[in-house]
């Protein structure tokens, strides 16, 4: 997105020259003749870069004081200092106080443009490093993994949603990948080079939630705190579990989202932002509105485009891909060798219902990698699975064996085939082609076998086959 640059100089000709030079290069500039005007512009909308003159006539602050004030509010804002009466001591003091660099007047256009580009690039790199560290620590996976029909549909929806600026409401059970979907939307949008800011609504302190979202300022101490909305300027603000916000705060968010402006707590200046909002919830939103925990006007403001993430149990065929992906990613993070997952273990993973969804599966794989034997040449066996999964597998096997032992050979064979085929269909979400390929049968032969064993074909849609 286009970088906004604030130019502060008491000489109109200098301001105009700098602004025209930058505008010709595609930058958007704002001008201020003194510190008071500059502070108002900074408070209403933070730029990507500020250029401050050190000596300013008829101003209540000089450039160095304005630099210190600006850094107290926006510590990551890159600032270039300019002066026609500069000394080495002045330059050192400016940089020590947080300026990116110092330029002496008169300067050549090429040098000014070079310093502007470097300052913006340096700030962007620092921000990206911070975001990358956050993503490595928090993200379940760098992309949406899975080839099931439902996941292909979600990826197609994300491609379309990302190209718009519409607000998105992501629903789905806990651990299903709602934040990951939001990050994918952001990374494919025109805002991808800006920040993705997470507001974890459940963790926002109730007595401080307004200040954390909108920021705060004190006229007595001149101290200002930048809130999450401002931090996400020109980027994306993600509300995790939106229903956990206090109802009073929800009303303020309605206006902020709709008008893209607000006042900090204790402040009088309106802050203008450009923020895309993506929200998420694992709850029944209709029930939350009926109970008065979610404002209807906020719901309709946020839910312009709905996106639903399915529970893992509804896309079992993706489980082997996810298991292998997590094995590689987590092993690299832990600094251990990955292990092999045999068919028995994969089948057990596919047979489990995963109440914690993808997040639970990620944690299970991490635990298995930590506890696995040092010899990673052979596939891990079922005993390495957590007790809750191993118990399901063992109970199922014991129950089936007890049933089979009470039948004649022919009946036992039919029961085994029926249970086996139902399990495989369940494993591949009713996809006949994939089940037939895994079993080693022709698709037509599998159809005949299912019919002979009177296995319902409700979920065996030929159109889903690949």
Q: Residue 382: which CATH number? A: 1.10.8.60
Residue 142 forms part of a structural domain: no
Distances (CA, A) of 257 to 132, 195, 228, 278: 27, 17, 13, 11
Q: Tens digit of pLDDT for each residue in 310-347?
A: 999 999 889 999 999 999 989 988 889 999 998 888 88
Buried b (16+ CB within 10 A) or exposed e, 363-392: bbbbebbeebeeeeeeebeeebbeeebeee
Q: Report the residue count for the chain.
A: 466
Distance CA 312, CA 79 (A): 48
Q: Tens digit of pLDDT for each residue in 212-232?
A: 999 888 655 556 778 999 999
Residue 60 has, within 13 A of its CA and on its CB side, a CA count of 6
**In terms of domains, do 272 and 155 share one?**
yes
Tokens of 305: 């485009």
Domain-terminating residue out of 310, 330, 357: 310
Domain ranges, residue 364: 311-387
Residue 138 forms part of a structural domain: no
Higher pLDDT, 156 or 4: 156
Tokens of 44: 């209403």
Higher pLDDT, 390 or 243: 243
Which pLDDT value is given to residue 411?
59
**In terms of domains, do 182 and 306 share one?**
yes
Q: What is this structure's pTM? A: 0.66
Residue 401 burial (C-beta neighbours within 10 Å; 0-12, 13-18, 19+): exposed
Residue 40: Cβ within 10 Å count: 11
**In terms of domains, do 224 and 338 share one?**
no
Select from 150, 147, 133, 140 the least CA-distant residue to 179.
140
Distance CA 27, CA 5 (A): 7
Q: Residue 86: which CATH number? A: 3.40.50.2300
**In terms of domains, do 319 and 277 share one?**
no
**In terms of domains, do 278 and 358 share one?**
no
Mean pLDDT of the chain, nearest integer: 84
Higher pLDDT, 392 or 275: 275
Which pLDDT value is given to residue 466?
40
**In terms of domains, do 80 and 58 share one?**
yes
Q: What percent of the chain has pLDDT over 90?
A: 43
If one counts the domains in the chain, the total is 4
**In terms of domains, do 344 and 299 share one?**
no
**In terms of domains, do 299 and 322 share one?**
no
Q: Tens digit of pLDDT for each residue in 239-270?
A: 999 999 999 999 999 999 999 999 988 888 88
At 56, the pLDDT band (50, 70, 90 cuts) reads confident
Buried b (16+ CB within 10 A) or exposed e, 321-336: ebbbbbbebbbeeeee
Tokens of 106: 């008169």
**In terms of domains, do 382 and 441 share one?**
no
Residue 399 forms part of a structural domain: no
């Amino acid at each position: 997105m286009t970088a906004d640059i604030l130019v502060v100089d008491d000489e109109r000709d200098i301001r105009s020259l700098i602004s025209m030079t930058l505008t010709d290069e595609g930058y958007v500039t704002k001008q201020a003749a003194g510190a008071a005007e500059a502070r108002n512009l900074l408070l209403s909308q933070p730029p990507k870069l500020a250029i401050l003159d050190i000596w300013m006539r008829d101003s209540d602050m000089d450039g160095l004081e304005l630099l210190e004030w600006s850094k107290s509010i926006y510590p990551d804002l890159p600032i270039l200092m300019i002066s026609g009466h500069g000394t080495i001591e002045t330059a050192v003091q400016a940089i020590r106080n947080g300026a990116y660099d110092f330029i002496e007047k008169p300067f050549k256009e090429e040098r000014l443009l070079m310093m502007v580009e470097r300052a913006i690039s340096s700030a962007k790199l620092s921000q990206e490093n911070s975001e990358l560290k956050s993503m490595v620590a928090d993200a379940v996976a760098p992309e949406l993994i899975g080839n099931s029909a439902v996941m292909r549909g979600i990826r197609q929806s994300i491609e379309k949603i990302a190209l718009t600026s519409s607000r998105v409401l992501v629903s789905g059970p806990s651990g299903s990948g709602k934040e990951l979907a939001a990050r994918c939307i952001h990374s494919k949008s025109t805002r991808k080079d800006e920040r993705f800011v997470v507001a974890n609504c459940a963790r926002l302190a109730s007595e401080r939630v307004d200040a954390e979202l909108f920021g705060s300022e004190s006229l007595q101490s001149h101290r200002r705190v930048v809130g999450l909305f401002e931090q996400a300027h020109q980027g994306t603000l993600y509300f995790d579990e939106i229903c956990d916000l206090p109802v009073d705060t929800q009303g303020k968010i309605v206006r902020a989202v709709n008008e893209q402006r607000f006042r900090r707590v204790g402040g009088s200046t309106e802050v203008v932002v450009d923020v895309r909002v993506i929200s998420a919830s694992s709850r029944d939103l209709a029930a939350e509105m009926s109970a008065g925990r979610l404002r209807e006007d906020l719901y309709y403001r946020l839910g312009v485009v709905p996106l639903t993430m399915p529970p893992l149990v509804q896309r079992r065929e993706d489980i082997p891909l996810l298991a292998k992906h997590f094995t590689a990613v987590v092993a690299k993070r832990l600094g251990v060798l990955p292990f092999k997952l045999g068919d028995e273990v994969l089948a057990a993973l596919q047979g489990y219902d995963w109440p914690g969804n993808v997040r639970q599966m990620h944690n299970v794989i991490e635990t298995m990698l930590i506890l696995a034997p040092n010899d990673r040449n052979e596939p891990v066996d079922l005993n390495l699975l957590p007790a809750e999964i191993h118990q399901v597998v063992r109970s199922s096997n014991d129950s089936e064996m007890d049933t089979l032992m009470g039948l004649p050979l022919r009946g036992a064979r039919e029961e085994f085939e029926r249970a086996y085929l139902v399990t495989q269909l369940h494993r591949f979400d009713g996809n006949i082609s994939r089940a037939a390929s895994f079993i080693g049968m022709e698709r037509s032969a599998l159809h005949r076998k299912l019919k002979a064993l009177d296995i319902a074909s409700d979920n065996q849609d030929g159109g889903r086959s690949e």
